[in-house]
């Protein structure tokens, strides 16, 4: 393998045989995912097809029963969530996980606190500058001293996104249904933030969403899951004409 910037042949993330069982149910079934550095990849599939479980495996929240996950060539499937974050993987949760009794700005600063604890060398003024710039992008800077619990659902999603982007260096951002139930204005802000971070900072994204029209504006390629398996992958045109995809969505 040729390595460019620690990324074998341009693959940022590679999984092989990735499997997660819940009792008798195989929620993720020998999943092979391959995402290039700099990609914005969509992940779709009917309800219960294993998308959230996949994100939970990639972020270390769940331990795989079988298979491997490689990030920039390194096995990460036995690491704990904070160790995976330290390697540049951020995520959002479908139901925002924030510290409600901390301010918006304090929530954004949390990844930097973990970074300082690891002996990070980013100077504090730089950290604060970055936090403010990210809050500015996601339109929350005016609310930076409000308690996180005062935010709407959509604003909470924006805050989760700003917080994820504080991870430094950031390579991969995993988003689980970031557009679900958010106001169209906030949806636009989320889309702009994804595109901007992808273009300006080369952040790679894996975005779980049901919103095809939105994904189409963000992603060149989508991966389709059904009953834990990867059943198709390709451009929207390829996916739309794929028999297995139609069958998965329309039923037999």
Ligand X SMILES: Nc1ncnc2c1ncn2[C@@H]1O[C@H](COP(=O)(O)OP(=O)(O)O)[C@@H](O)[C@H]1O
Per CB under 5 A, residues contacting Mg ion are 51-52
Q: Of 45 and 67, which has the nearer Cβ to ligand X?
A: 45
Query: Contact between 27 and ligand X (CB under 6 A)?
Result: yes
Type and span of the H or E element at 100: none
**Considering the complex, what minimum distance in angstroms separates the CB of residue 172 from ligand X?**
18
How far apart (Å, rounded) are the C-alpha atoms in residues 49 and 248? 10
User: Within 19-147, where are the H helices?
Assistant: 51-58, 81-86, 104-117, 124-137
Size of the site for ligand X (CB under 6 A): 11
Decide the pairing of beta strands 66-71 and 40-44.
unpaired
Tell me how many degrees the CA angle 175-176-181 measures, rounded to the nearest 5: 110
Q: Of 20 and 72, which has the nearer Cβ to ligand X?
A: 20
The answer to whether 92 touches 175, Cβ cutoff 8 Å, is yes
**Considering the complex, what minimum distance in angstroms separates the CB of residue 97 from ligand X?**
15
C-alpha torsion sign, points 78, 83, 89, 91 = positive
On the CB side of 1, how many CA atoms lie within 13 Å of its CA? 12
The answer to whether 138 touches 159, Cβ cutoff 8 Å, is yes
Query: Contact between 133 and ligand X (CB under 6 A)?
Result: no
Query: Contact between 42 and ligand X (CB under 6 A)?
Result: no
**Which of 47-55, 73-81, 126-134, 137-145 is the region at the interface with ligand X (rule: CB under 6 A)?**
47-55
**Considering the complex, what minimum distance in angstroms separates the CB of residue 104 from ligand X?**
28
Query: Contact between 249 and ligand X (CB under 6 A)?
Result: no
**Interaction residues for ligand X, span 137-156 (CB under 6 A):** none
Q: Spell out a b/e string for 240-249, using b for 16 or more CB atoms within 10 Å of the CB, else e.
A: eebeebeebe
Q: Of 60 and 111, which has the nearer Cβ to Mg ion?
A: 60
Q: Of 52 and 85, which has the nearer Cβ to ligand X?
A: 52
Q: Of 25 and 133, which has the nearer Cβ to ligand X?
A: 25
Query: Contact between 59 and ligand X (CB under 6 A)?
Result: no
Query: Contact between 95 and ligand X (CB under 6 A)?
Result: no
Query: Contact between 215 and ligand X (CB under 6 A)?
Result: no
Distance set, CA 42 to CA 12, 24, 197 (Å): 15, 28, 16
Q: Of 27 and 109, which has the nearer Cβ to ligand X?
A: 27
**Which of 45-53, 68-76, 165-173, 210-218 is the region at the interface with ligand X (rule: CB under 6 A)?**
45-53
Q: Of 88 and 96, which has the nearer Cβ to Mg ion?
A: 96
Tally of CB atoms within 10 A around 86: 18
Residues near ligand X (CB under 6 A) are 22, 25, 27, 45, 47-53
């Amino acid at each position: 393998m040729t390595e460019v910037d620690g990324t074998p042949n341009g693959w940022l993330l590679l999984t092989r045989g990735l499997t997660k069982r819940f009792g008798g149910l195989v929620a993720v079934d020998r999943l092979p995912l391959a995402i290039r550095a700099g990609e914005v990849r969509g992940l779709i599939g009917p309800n219960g097809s294993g998308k959230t479980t996949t994100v939970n495996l990639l972020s270390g929240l769940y331990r795989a029963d079988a298979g491997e996950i490689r990030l920039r060539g390194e096995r990460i499937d036995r690491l704990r969530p904070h160790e995976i974050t330290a390697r540049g993987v951020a995520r959002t949760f479908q139901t925002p996980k924030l510290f409600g009794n901390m301010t918006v700005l304090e929530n954004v600063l949390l990844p930097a606190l973990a970074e300082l604890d690891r002996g990070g060398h980013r100077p504090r003024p730089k950290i604060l500058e970055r936090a403010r710039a990210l809050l500015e992008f996601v339109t929350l800077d005016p609310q930076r001293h409000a308690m996180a619990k005062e935010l709407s659902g959509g604003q909470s999603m924006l805050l989760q996104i700003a917080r994820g982007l504080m991870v430094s260096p950031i390579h991969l951002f995993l988003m689980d249904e970031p557009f679900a139930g958010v106001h169209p204005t906030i949806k636009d802000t989320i889309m702009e933030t994804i595109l901007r971070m992808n273009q300006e900072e080369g952040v790679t994204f894996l975005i779980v969403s049901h919103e095809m029209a939105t994904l189409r504006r963000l992603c060149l390629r989508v991966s389709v899951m059904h009953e834990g398996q990867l059943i198709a992958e390709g451009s929207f045109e390829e996916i739309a004409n794929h028999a297995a995809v139609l069958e998965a969505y329309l039923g037999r």
